[in-house]
Amino acid sequence: MRRLLPLAPALLFLAGFFVLPMLDIVGRSITAADGSLTLARYALLFGDAFYLRAMAETLALSAGVTLLCVLAGYPVAYYLVRHAGRWRGVILFTLVAPLLTSIIMRTFGWQVLFARRGPVNLLLEGLGLVEAPIRFTGSLGIAIAALVHVLLPFMVLSITPVLQSIDRRLEEAAAILGAGRFRAFLEVTLPLSWEGILTGCILVFMVANGSFVTLLLLGGGLQTLPLLIYQQFNTTRDFGMVSAMSTVLLLLALACLALQLRLVRKGG
């Protein structure tokens, strides 16, 4: 008990500013207008095709963005650890620099760059590659690209320290035993960096799961739970439904954490 004492301030803070508000949200989600208990909102969420589709779109978007972040982030992390040398600091700064700007400004930047009469379209037209401007904004592709841009640093920064800790002699041993560079990477390096990939995936998945500014401003034709929560709060003020959707989002995040713990334990 005495050993837990130093944790008390943090635990109290979390209890007051996280656990209690969360319990309040759960309570609101199961309280009807007349004060009685109800599960009607959850029945609607899990029984109406529209809301099921919104949940599926939320998960699919998060999974897609996570996958793209792994595919784009792993080579960057690998290059940083193995080949960047004295450029390492510069690359790291370039990677993290976008996080120093407000997400709203960054999203407006995407809007300006990819506008119908924006620099990208003007360049494509100038090079004769397209006859009419391409409608980038409002498309799913641009929304995903913007999300990957925001979340890529989380993936790279999760993988880099794990790659750094891998003993290079293991790869050399694989080479001595006849494995080519690709096979050595596939059978030695990649499995050993699994924990970093997993941590990055969980981080990116959870942040993507709750992100809404990018989708709100860039469109993408998706109706995810965070967008619906914002809409219900701002437009209809149906706090009961807002709370139910928030609880479902929270459960998704908790499920992700549980999965991470399980996989890490399995890996360990």
Partner 1 sequence: MALWTRRGLAGATAALGLSALPHRPARAQGKSITVTALGGIWEEAVRTCFAQPYEKATGNRAQVLIGSPTQWLAQIEANPARPPIDALVTIPDLAIAAVQKGLVERFTVEKTPNLVHTPEEFIAPLDGHGVLFDYGVAGFTFHKGRVKQPPKSFAEFVERTAKGEWQASLPGIGYAVTPIMLIWAMAKALGGGVDNVDPFFEAVRKMGRNVSFWNSPNDFENALASGDADIGIYFDGRTWAWSDSGASFAGFLNPSEGGSINAIAIQKPKNASEEAWPYLDIMLSAEAQLAFAKKLNYGVTNRLVVYPPGLAERITPWQQAAFPPYAEIAAKRAAWVDRWNREIRR
CB of 231 vs partner 1, minimal distance in Å? 5
How far is C-alpha 64 from the chain's CA centre? 10
Tell me which of 216, 253, 263, 264 binds partner 1, using CB under 8 A.
216
CA angle 61, 64, 69 (to 5 degrees): 125
Residue at token pair 């500014």:
213
By CB under 8 A, is residue 158 in contact with partner 1?
no
Tell me which of 42, 79, 185, 233 binds partner 1, using CB under 8 A.
233
By CB under 8 A, is residue 221 in contact with partner 1?
yes
Helix axes 103-113 and 119-126, enclosed angle (nearest 10): 20
For partner 1, the closer of residues 50 and 93 by Cβ is 50
Tell me which of 52, 180, 236, 262 binds partner 1, using CB under 8 A.
236
Q: What does the block give as tokens for 21?
A: 């508000």
Q: Which stretch binds partner 1 (CB under 8 A): 2-10, 63-71, 188-196, 223-231?
A: 223-231
Closest CA to 196 of 89, 61, 80, 60: 80
By CB under 8 A, is residue 243 in contact with partner 1?
no
The SS3 of residue 13 is: helix
Whole-number Å distance between alpha carbons of 136 and 127: 18
By CB under 8 A, is residue 230 in contact with partner 1?
yes
Residue at token pair 């880099």:
160
Whole-number Å distance between alpha carbons of 211 and 154: 14
Up-side HSE of residue 119: CA atoms within 13 Å toward CB? 5
Tell me which of 58, 66, 137, 260 binds partner 1, using CB under 8 A.
137
By CB under 8 A, is residue 211 in contact with partner 1?
no
Evaluate whether 31 touches 42 at the Cβ level (below 8 Å): no
Footprint (CB under 8 A) of partner 1, residues 171-200: none
Tell me which of 217, 244, 248, 249 binds partner 1, using CB under 8 A.
217
Q: Which stretch binds partner 1 (CB under 8 A): 13-21, 89-97, 202-210, 226-234?
A: 226-234
For partner 1, the closer of residues 120 and 264 by Cβ is 120
Evaluate whether 133 touches 117 at the Cβ level (below 8 Å): yes
Evaluate whether 200 touches 159 at the Cβ level (below 8 Å): yes
Tell me which of 7, 43, 56, 112 binds partner 1, using CB under 8 A.
112
Where does this chain bind partner 1 (CB under 8 A)?
A: 50, 108, 111-112, 115-118, 135, 137-138, 216-217, 219, 221, 223, 227-228, 230-238
